[in-house]
Chain A
Amino acid sequence: MIRLVDVVKRFAGSQSLAVDHLSLEVEEGETAVLVGPSGCGKTTTMKMINRLEEPTSGSIFVDGRDVTAQDPVTLRRGIGYVIQTIGLLPHRTIAQNIATVPELLGWDEIRISDRVKELAGMLELKSELLSRYPSELSGGQRQRVGVARALAADPPVMLMDEPFGAVDPIVRGRLQDQFLEIQDRLRKTIVFVTHDIDEAIKMADRIAILNVGGVLEQYDTPKEILRNPANDFVKEFLGSERGLKRLALVQVGEIEVEEGPVVSPDDPPQRATEAMQRFGTDWVSVVADGELLGWVDEQGLAGKATVGEAAPRKFSAYVTAASSLREALDSLITSTTQVAAVVWEGQRYRGVLTAERISKEITS
């Protein structure tokens, strides 16, 4: 959808390159995050896509068409744009700000006002805000207006430069989650610029890590970059908690889990003892027709005819397929058994997850 081919940018009067022979491809419906220290050319790269900056050499294609061959005004009306300072027009109301691009495109009034209401709903902007001016809104509200404005004409491509940078961390987290939900439905092709690696990991389908001078160090999925940093620069940029960051990206459902020691309630206690010996544990999971009832240990089984009589106890740590490995690890280390039972929807038993299994995932 967006393709950069050998793009170079040198600003007039500057000795060094701002962007150095950059080639990059963003698939349709994906979010590519450009991340790097200041001076890495990430914002310049983004601005070349809608021709706010012109490349010194190389070419940029949006939807297969060379941007430099297009009228910049028409091009820009088809690309959503959000920046950190938002740049709302202070003399226009919130509704008018959101309506900016539809107005430029000559939509009729009814269609515009319907669209403004739809977007206000989507971004949870109360309708009484629509008649206010930007200076009357809080930072978080303004950021949401900025996103609504960029989405107004439903452009297939969005450029976002630290769009959630100007608010406190709590509001930022909420805005990120909200935007991820919206993006999940809309599947825009997005180029997203940030200096914050955690934001990049959270928002990206693919991350481009740029070094000073506009050098691309690595372009890959967050998981792959965390698993396999291309060089020391990337490793250092990812920071100290690389393993934990990776665990946050992997869902329990994606990895193989051991079945663990399992018995059915009808089994005699002897079967339970055998299972414990086989797996080297002092407990077994009790599963009836695929449903997890809990666990029992040697003490509980003493003098009972079947496992079922021993009244299985609930696992203190449950994880589901949708939990991240980071969440699983957190419940593991706080549980008594040091083991988490993995259940699918409706208590369907899947297996057990141990700390060793998770650490294998980090080191692989």
Chain B
Amino acid sequence: MILAQADEPLVEPEWVMRNLDRIGERLVEHAYLTVLAVGIGLAICIPLGILAYRHRRIYPPVTWLAGFLYTIPSLALFAFLTAYTGLTTLTAEIGLVSYTLLILIRNVVAGLDSVPLDTKESARAMGYTDRQLLLKVELPLALPVILAGVRVATVTTIGLVTVTSLIGKGGLGFFILQGMRRFFNTPIVVGAVLSVLLAVSADLALLGLQKAATPWARNRARTA
């Protein structure tokens, strides 16, 4: 990061104290934009992933499209979308969601693929219907891999949210942009450090959730 002024202190505590309220608001906005993006991403990718898992032929075009979206530079995407949807949360979310798709769809399909064949077959042989098989066997067993994808998507999105400051959103990215415009270090450091902390704590929280949701994956082979 290129700091605006080399001779000023990295952080002026006075500024931080004066702006605590705004920092809090932006932190909440940051988290909100992230949760919304990953949530919508999941809402798209779980059904789409199940469809691609069942009908293998649609998987390549779906990943191709998601991969294409993933390669578009974020700055260019937001600038392009602004022409249609303006400086809105919608614009921000279209971009943010687009970048979660590739990671999430791959993990949903990989998660479902990781369910052992003999487990599925014996569940069918016990008399699970297709729907029960999906909801009670395949999705629960795919959960660790899906949640691993959610972790990566969340951390990536938290980083990307800062870019949406260019269209007037941005959560903590607002301070980074502000600092750059004013040649003032403190907001840049505050925005960046809090963004990193948010990413790290979201990652740890999801890791905790993953462990809590998959108790069977612990203590493998205690007696075997």
A interface list, Cβ under 8 A from B = 50, 52, 73-77, 79, 81, 83, 85-92, 100-101, 104, 132-139, 141, 149, 159
Complexed CA–CA distance, A137 and B119 (Å): 16
Q: Is the CB of B223 within 8 A of A137?
A: yes
B222 CB to closest chain A CB, in angstroms? 4
Chain B residues near A100 (CB, 8 Å)? 123, 126
Complexed CA–CA distance, A90 and B217 (Å): 8
Interface bracket on B: 20 to 34
Complexed CA–CA distance, A73 and B127 (Å): 5
Residues of A contacting B: mostly? mixed
Which listed residue, B132, B141, B219, B224, touches A90 by the CB 8 Å rule? B141
A304 CB to closest chain B CB, in angstroms? 65
Q: Is the CB of A77 within 8 A of B221?
A: no
Q: Is the CB of B122 within 8 A of A136?
A: no
Chain B residues near A86 (CB, 8 Å)? 118, 122
Complexed CA–CA distance, A104 and B131 (Å): 13
Q: Is the CB of A90 within 8 A of B215?
A: no
Q: A91-B140, A134-B216, A135-B220 are in contact. List 14 more A-B contacts (CB 8 A).
A: A73-B129, A76-B125, A76-B127, A79-B125, A87-B116, A87-B118, A87-B120, A87-B123, A92-B216, A101-B126, A133-B215, A135-B224, A136-B219, A136-B221
Complexed CA–CA distance, A35 and B170 (Å): 68
Chain A residues near B124 (CB, 8 Å)? 52, 76
B60 CB to closest chain A CB, in angstroms? 22
Residue of B nearest to A79 (CB): B125
Chain A residues near B62 (CB, 8 Å)? none
Complexed CA–CA distance, A206 and B139 (Å): 42
Residues of B contacting A: mostly? helix
Q: A91-B140, A135-B220 are in contact. Are A83 and B127 (CB under 8 A)?
A: no
A53 CB to closest chain B CB, in angstroms? 11
Residue of B nearest to A132 (CB): B222
Q: Is the CB of A77 within 8 A of B116?
A: no
Tell me the residues in window 172-224 of chain B with beta carbons closer than 8 Å to chain A beta carbons.
Answer: 214-217, 219-224
Complexed CA–CA distance, A89 and B221 (Å): 15
Which listed residue, B121, B128, B137, B220, touches A52 by the CB 8 Å rule? B121
A-B contact pairs, 16 of them (CB 8 A): A74-B127, A76-B127, A77-B126, A85-B116, A86-B122, A87-B122, A88-B119, A89-B119, A91-B140, A92-B216, A104-B127, A132-B222, A135-B217, A135-B219, A136-B222, A159-B125
Complexed CA–CA distance, A81 and B215 (Å): 26
Complexed CA–CA distance, A138 and B120 (Å): 21
Chain A residues near B140 (CB, 8 Å)? 91
Which listed residue, A77, A88, A92, touches B127 by the CB 8 Å rule? A77
Q: Is the CB of A136 within 8 A of B220?
A: yes
Residue of A nearest to B140 (CB): A91
Q: Is the CB of B125 within 8 A of A89?
A: no
Q: A52-B121, A104-B132 are in contact. Are A81 and B126 (CB under 8 A)?
A: yes
Chain A residues near B224 (CB, 8 Å)? 135-139
Q: Is the CB of A101 within 8 A of B127?
A: yes
